[in-house]
């Protein structure tokens, strides 16, 4: 029997969490720390796990983990989702207005102006304030039911809040991926060897149509709501602006740039203002939408077959330009991968001269059907690296993937199951050497300051640095000889190089730049092997036994240390004085045989450190929760993994409990 107090607490927790989700995801103005939020979330999860009968679909704990659907159901829109008439000049706007005024036989004064977001139109249906359906536009009359995916978008309320919520209301808007999130996502995808998203709009559309909602949840989607669809009769706003204001007051995210203006001149002012702003906006827009504000005017004007009379899009000249492909160069990255870069006939795109565009990998050349001399369309948006969109006229000259490395002439290789071409010459290839030195000096590796890419290139080209260990042999005199490097900066750099010698084994391993070994794996290896000679000798079997190390990674690591050159650089580094404290091996490892999962953000330490501690205590640290999981440590913003742990009745520790546990078993000295 559930007590009244528990039910009351559950409701008040849900309300608090919804309030803080709204502050964080919609308003971007959090009121509490992540840890405080996490405590509320944890408490709610605990109550729900003790009383599963109280779990409802709209609980904040239920955003992810919905059942994957086989395919999307079709859903009929109560009112069609229309498209917009387009205009590109003020005179077109004037005739649109004139037509409408003639139609109504009255003057139209007020307009709502909004940025036209380049994303995907989505309809949200709320029944008694609860999100019951999310759908794509489809053909305008029938869309796809993407409820499970829409529920994972944190700025979409699962339950509306505030006053006068109609019993039925459909809210429409645009789901999109912010530009910085898009760039981050793609950088990581390329590093993992996954396909990058083509552009933010395409990425948003693809993310919304994932069969598994957990995949959608991992995509950085957000939404701006811009209009009402169907609504029950008790809700009749007077104006579009009032409708948007109600939508906002119910907790939905609306665009702060929406403005009510009087007269067409003011619309023009808005169009110019947003045009100026658009390169700095954190999302892509392709114009401005102008809507008649008065809803009774809107009703009287009504719709044509596919578009309303009461709204019009003003489209900016596209951020696309036509140019020709002069050639394709191949750039060599740190691990030897050759990335194609399109060399273009320089062309102006939204005020910037563009002469290069990215092509991601050689499959892209095939996909686009690129040939040298092709007339192509390129596109530039915000801070996205220009991309080749399509070929207009095919050129004559085939793109020949290089047979040798453009930096060192070594014959390139294409590994069986890889798309990429690779130069196998390692540190003997100047391009790979430059990238490797930069990686070695980077913040998450040895953290050497002052070694910019230009200086690294000079050092490599002058033959002063042939491998990372050579950095430790550089003198102030040698460095001062380089262009624009005074004695003072040379001294600072040498000092920073010398200071970097005191490091951790994990950072040292990471600095070696072994293919596929990021910070996490480096930490796992450091904890397991402790010293360089032991790591160098590790067999593929021992390596595969480690958490997060599959057979491919294990053989990469083995191959790295089988290479005489790599082994001697690693040893040379320790001979140059690179050192770390060897962690004392614990006699009693209380978590031996256990599998732990870390989720959410910990306030007191980076996830890596928490993992290192658990590994030292003998635990395996896994990435997902299953029946075999021994314990879950849940930090702030823990979501699906925590929900899964509760569902499977895996014991959950909050940060405080985790710290107490760790401190009990790892005394200061042995930490």
Distance from CA of residue 57 to its chain's centroid? Answer: 27
* Least spacing, CB of residue 120 vs ligand IVH, in Å: 7
Nearest to 455 by CA among 437, 443, 470, 439: 437
Other beta carbons within 10 angstroms of residue 179's beta carbon come to 17
Output 148 or 311, the one with its CB closest to ligand IVH: 311
Q: Rounded CA gap, 34 and 635, in Å? A: 9
- Tokens at 615, concatenated: 């590994």
The beta strand positions in 12-129, using DSSP E, are: 74-76, 85-87, 110-117, 120-127
274/636 with CB nearer ligand IVH:
274
- The CB-nearest residue to ligand IVH is 121
**How far apart, in Å, are the Cα atoms of 306 and each of 78, 84, 122, 458?**
15, 8, 17, 61
| CA pair distance 538, 548, nearest whole angstrom | 16
Nearer to ligand IVH, 152 or 227 (CB): 227
| Both structure tokens of 585 | 């091996």
- Spatial CA neighbour of 443 closest among 515, 516, 503: 503
For residues 35 and 635, give the distance between their C-alpha atoms in angstroms, rounded to a whole number: 7
Both structure tokens of 136: 């794509």
Residue that the structure tokens 């314990």 belong to: 631
Task: Tell me if residue 204 falls in helix, strand or coil.
Answer: helix
Give the residue with the Cβ less far from ligand IVH, 192 or 306. Answer: 306
Question: Choosing from 67, 86, 107, 116, which is the catalytic residue?
Answer: 116
Residue numbers at the binding site for ligand IVH (CB under 6 A): 82-84, 114, 116-117, 121, 137, 174, 226-227, 289, 308, 311, 313
Q: Residue 16 or residue 174: which is nearer to ligand IVH going by CB?
A: 174
Query: Cβ neighbours of residue 139 under 8 Å, at least 6 residues apart?
Result: none
Backbone angles phi, psi at 449, to 5 degrees: -95, 150
Concatenated DSSP letters of 334-393: TTSEEEEEEEEEEEEETTEEEEEEE--SHHHHHHHT--BT-EEEEE--TTSPPEEEEEEE
Calpha distance 571→531 (Å, rounded)? 11
Phi, psi at residue 6, to the nearest 5°?
-65, -45
Minimum separation from the CB atom of position 173 to ligand IVH (A) = 8
- The CB-of-311 to ligand IVH minimum distance in angstroms stands at 5
Q: How far is the CB of 83 from ligand IVH (least distance, A)?
A: 4
Of residues 247 and 509, the one with the C-beta less far from ligand IVH: 247
Would you say the C-alpha torsion 81, 87, 88, 93 has a positive or negative sign? negative
* Cβ proximity to ligand IVH, 137 vs 159, nearer residue: 137
Q: How far is the CB of 298 from ligand IVH (least distance, A)?
A: 10
Q: Which is closer to ligand IVH, CB of 197 or CB of 311?
A: 311
Tell me which H or E stretch contains 663: helix 655-665
Q: Work out how close the CB of 57 gets to ligand IVH at its nearest, in angstroms, rounded to a whole number.
A: 27
Q: How far is the CB of 12 from ligand IVH (least distance, A)?
A: 36
Residues 335, 340, 345, 351, CA torsion sign: negative
Shortest distance (Å) from residue 112 CB to ligand IVH: 9
Kindly write down the DSSP assignment for every residue of 591-605, as one continuous string. Answer: TTT-EEEEESB-SSS
Q: Return the half-sphere exposure (C-beta side, CA atoms, 13 A cut-off) of residue 39.
A: 7
Please indicate whether residue 611 is annotated as part of the active site. Answer: no
Name the residue nearer to ligand IVH (CB basis): 173 or 430: 173
- Residue bearing tokens 């530039």: 380
Helix (H, G, I), strand (E, B) or coil at 75: strand
CB neighbour class for 441 (10 Å; exposed up to 12, middle 13-18, buried from 19): buried
C-beta of 134: minimal distance to ligand IVH in Å?
14
What is the Cα–Cα distance from 210 to 71, expressed in whole angstroms? 9
Please classify residue 395 by burial: count the beta carbons closer than 10 Å to its beta carbon, then call 0-12 exposed, 13-18 middle and 19+ buried: middle
Q: Enumerate the active-site residues.
A: 116
């Amino acid at each position: 029997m559930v007590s009244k107090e528990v039910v009351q607490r559950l409701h008040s927790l849900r309300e608090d969490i919804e309030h803080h989700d709204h502050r964080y995801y919609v308003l971007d103005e959090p009121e509490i720390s992540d840890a405080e939020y996490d405590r509320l979330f944890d408490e709610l999860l605990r109550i729900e796990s003790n009383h599963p009968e109280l779990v409802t679909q709209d609980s904040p704990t239920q955003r992810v983990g919905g059942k994957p659907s086989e395919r999307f159901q079709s859903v009929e829109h109560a009112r069609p989702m229309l498209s917009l008439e387009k205009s590109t000049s003020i005179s077109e706007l004037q005739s649109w207005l004139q037509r409408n005024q003639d139609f109504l036989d009255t003057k139209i004064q007020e307009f709502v102006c909004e940025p036209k977001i380049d994303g995907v139109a989505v309809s949200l249906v709320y029944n008694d304030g609860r999100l019951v359906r999310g759908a794509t536009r489809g053909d305008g009359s029938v869309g796809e039911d993407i409820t499970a995916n829409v529920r994972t978008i944190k700025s979409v309320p699962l339950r509306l809040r505030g006053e006068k919520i109609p019993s039925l209301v459909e809210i429409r808007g645009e789901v999109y991926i912010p530009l910085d999130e898009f760039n981050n996502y793609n950088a990581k995808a390329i590093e993992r060897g996954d396909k990058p998203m083509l552009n933010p709009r395409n990425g948003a559309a693809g993310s919304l149509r994932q069969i598994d909602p957990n995949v959608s949840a991992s995509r950085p989607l957000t939404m701006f709501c811009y209009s009402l669809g169907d609504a029950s009769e008790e809700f009749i706003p007077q104006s579009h602006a009032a409708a948007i204001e109600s939508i906002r007051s119910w907790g939905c995210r609306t665009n702060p740039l929406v403005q009510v203006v009087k007269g067409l001149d003011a619309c023009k002012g808005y169009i110019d203002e947003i045009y100026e702003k658009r390169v700095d906006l954190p999302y892509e827009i392709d114009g401005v939408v102008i809507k008649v504000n008065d809803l009774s005017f809107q009703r009287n004007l009504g719709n044509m077959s596919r578009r309303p009379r009461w709204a019009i899009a003003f489209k900016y000249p596209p951020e696309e330009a036509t140019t020709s492909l002069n050639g394709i160069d191949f750039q060599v990255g740190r691990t030897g991968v050759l990335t194609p870069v399109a060399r273009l006939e320089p062309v102006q795109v939204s005020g910037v001269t563009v002469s290069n565009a990215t092509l991601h990998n050689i499959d892209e050349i095939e996909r686009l059907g690129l040939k040298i001399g092709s007339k192509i369309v390129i596109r530039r948006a915000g801070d996205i690296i220009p991309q080749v969109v399509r070929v207009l006229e095919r050129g004559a000259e085939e793109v020949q993937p290089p047979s040798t490395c453009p930096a060192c002439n070594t014959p390139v290789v294409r590994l069986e199951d890889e798309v990429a071409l690779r130069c196998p010459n390692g540190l003997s290839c100047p391009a790979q050497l430059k990238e490797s030195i930069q990686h070695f000096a980077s913040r998450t590796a040895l953290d050497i300051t002052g070694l910019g890419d230009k200086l690294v290139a000079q050092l490599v080209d002058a033959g002063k640095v042939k491998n990372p260990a050579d950095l430790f042999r550089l003198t102030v005199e040698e460095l001062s000889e380089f262009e624009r490097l005074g004695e003072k900066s040379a001294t600072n750099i040498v000092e920073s190089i010398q200071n970097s010698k005191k490091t951790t084994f994990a950072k040292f391993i990471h600095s070696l730049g072994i293919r596929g070994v990021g910070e996490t794996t480096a930490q796992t290896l450091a904890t397991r092997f402790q010293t360089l000679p032991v790591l160098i000798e590790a067999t593929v079997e021992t390596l595969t036994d480690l958490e997060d190390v599959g057979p491919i990674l294990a053989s990469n690591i083995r191959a790295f240390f089988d290479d005489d050159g790599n082994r001697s650089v690693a040893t040379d580094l320790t001979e140059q004085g690179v050192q770390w404290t060897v962690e004392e091996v614990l006699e009693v490892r209380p978590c031996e045989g256990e599998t732990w999962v870390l989720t959410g953000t910990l306030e007191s330490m980076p996830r890596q450190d928490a993992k290192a501690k658990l590994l030292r205590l003998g635990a395996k640290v896994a990435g997902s929760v299953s029946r075999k999981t021994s314990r879950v440590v849940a930090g702030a913003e823990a979501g699906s993994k925590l929900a899964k742990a509760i569902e499977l009745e895996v014991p959950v520790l909050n940060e405080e409990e985790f710290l107490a546990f760790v401190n009990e078993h790892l005394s200061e000295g042995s930490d």
